[in-house]
Amino acid sequence: MAPMLTWGAWRAQAKAQLPPPTESFAGKTVLITGAKGVVCSEVARILIRLGVGTLVLAVRGIPEGPEGEPALEALLGPSADRSGTRVLVWPLDLLSFDSVKALAARATKELPRLDVVLNGAARSSRDRQLTKEGWEYVHHQGVMVNHLAPALLTLLLLPLLKKTADEHNTTTVAAEIASLGSRMSRSAMPTPPATPATDGTTAYLSAVNAKGDWVSRHQMYGITKLLFCHFLHELAAQLQAPNVQFHSADFGVCKVQKGVNETFKSALPMMYLLGREPEMCANVVVNSCIAHEGAKQSFYVDYDAIGLPDFMADESGVRLQKVVWQETKAVLLKVSPKAYDQVLPKAGASNAVSTEKQDNAGKAEAEVAGGALEESSTGVTA
Ligand SMILES: NC(=O)c1ccc[n+]([C@@H]2O[C@H](COP(=O)([O-])OP(=O)(O)OC[C@H]3O[C@@H](n4cnc5c(N)ncnc54)[C@H](OP(=O)(O)O)[C@@H]3O)[C@@H](O)[C@H]2O)c1
């Protein structure tokens, strides 16, 4: 399917019938965020049908153990139907770096293997949230939930993904759910600088953060989704591990909208027309959880690997990717100084952001949050 945002292309995608994935997940371990949501709960049900050995649902609001069983039953069906899968419910709040770190530490300690991490959670709220850990800054919820937190989670799970791939002679996968619809949000993005700052400052992310106060929620949603997509693709380029793949998947629009797209209420009739059944969306996501021959990084539209879409691969997209990568690193190293050890194993010293630079970064963030950065109404291609 062509990655074009024409009505015809969306309508064609909405109508396309995809055969369900048949790849066995027997013996594998998959960790999913957002598994209470419309699409990822369906992903979880499909994975169980495909025989996944262990399924970790990293969620908030479902208690662990027997207390959580009624909620699990509502989500996944009767326990008898999932007897072949060990389902674990582990708490995760993506608004908290501490929660992300605790989950990753637990996975590293308790999971003998990890074949797939699926970053499925997302948020479209306009609300801000004070995050106390590390980067002491008021993050827009979308910046945290859709980008910074999944970036940290993915980085912290890399050792386990690599270890699993090495020990089991397999290929493991870090996946996320992207949207070609992010293309429409690009015009609302601040213009990235020509070269990324290398002094630990985070002016661009701060400018995006500040945007959350006044751009529309759907624009902010698209922007923050795009940040993480770029991050993941740069991570794929930087990581020296051929047996770990990085996938983004676009399934178009889901007919059923719950939390993430509460903001699109006025567009619901149109989304119904252009949308697909959750199961079809979930098929696309499950396919992106499968390691495929070929590229280390792939952007899937339905089942087709298209390479990066043009708006991400053009000159401005490449620039944006480098800036997002560099600034995300500056934020996350403060939160978790060893987070990038897998990416640049011998560069611990040069990776570390000095205290002085952190202080400078904090000042720069405060300044930029006031809106000092150049902005473009025509988008990053300007
Ligand atoms: N729906 C679409 O048409 C569409 C189109 C393109 C891409 N996508 C992407 O597909 C994925 C699934 O979409 P969906 O429509 O199924 O979403 P959804 O029903 O709104 O589910 C989103 C999930 O994210 C979780 N979440 C939000 N904030 C969180 C936090 N702070 N910590 C932990 N979990 C949090 C929510 O958990 P709670 O229940 O605890 O709030 C919820 O289970 C998302 O990544 C979305 O961006 C969706």
**Pocket of ligand 1 contains residue 145 by CB under 6 Å:** yes
**225: CA distance to ligand 1 center in Å?**
11
Compute CA distances 58 → 55, 63, 204, whole Å: 9, 11, 30
d(CA 84, CA 27) in angstroms, rounded, equals 10
**110: CA distance to ligand 1 center in Å?**
26
**Pocket of ligand 1 contains residue 94 by CB under 6 Å:** yes
Mean pLDDT by 10 residues, the chain (382 residues): 65 89 98 97 97 98 94 93 95 94 98 98 74 53 92 98 98 96 89 89 89 80 95 95 96 80 66 88 98 91 92 94 96 93 60 35 34 27 20
pTM listed for this prediction: 0.89
**Pocket of ligand 1 contains residue 143 by CB under 6 Å:** no
Beta-bridged to residue 300, according to DSSP, are: 249, 305
**Pocket of ligand 1 contains residue 301 by CB under 6 Å:** no
**Pocket of ligand 1 contains residue 62 by CB under 6 Å:** no
Amino acid letter for position 232: L
**Pocket of ligand 1 contains residue 123 by CB under 6 Å:** yes
Phi-psi region of 51 (alpha: psi -120 to 50; beta: other; left: phi over 0): left
DSSP, res 51: T
Nearest CA to ligand 1 atom 26: 121
**Pocket of ligand 1 contains residue 120 by CB under 6 Å:** yes
**360: CA distance to ligand 1 center in Å?**
35
**Pocket of ligand 1 contains residue 39 by CB under 6 Å:** yes
Q: Which atom of ligand 1 is nearest to the CA of 271?
A: 3
Listed in sequence order, the residues at least 6 apart from 132 whose beta carbon sits closer than 8 Å to its beta carbon are: none
Which pLDDT score, from 0 to 100, does residue 45 have? 97
Residue 28 CB neighbour total at 10 angstroms: 25
Which pLDDT score, from 0 to 100, does residue 198 have? 87
- Please provide residue 276's backbone torsions phi and psi, each rounded to the nearest 5 degrees: -115, 165
Q: Which domains does the chain have, with CATH numbers?
A: 23-182+217-312 (3.40.50.720)
**Pocket of ligand 1 contains residue 282 by CB under 6 Å:** no
**124: CA distance to ligand 1 center in Å?**
9
Q: Which atom of ligand 1 is nearest to the CA of 278?
A: 16
Which pLDDT score, from 0 to 100, does residue 294 have? 81
**336: CA distance to ligand 1 center in Å?**
25
d(CA 349, CA 352) in angstroms, rounded, equals 5
Sign of the alpha-carbon torsion through 142, 148, 149, 154: positive
- CA 40, 1, 22 angle in degrees (round to 5)? 45
**Pocket of ligand 1 contains residue 107 by CB under 6 Å:** no
**Pocket of ligand 1 contains residue 122 by CB under 6 Å:** yes
Among 32, 38, 39, 179, the mutation site with the greatest number of ligand 1 atoms within 8 A of its Cβ is: 39
How is 133-162 classified by DSSP, letter by letter? Answer: SSS-EEEEHHIIIIIIHHHHHHHHHHHHHH
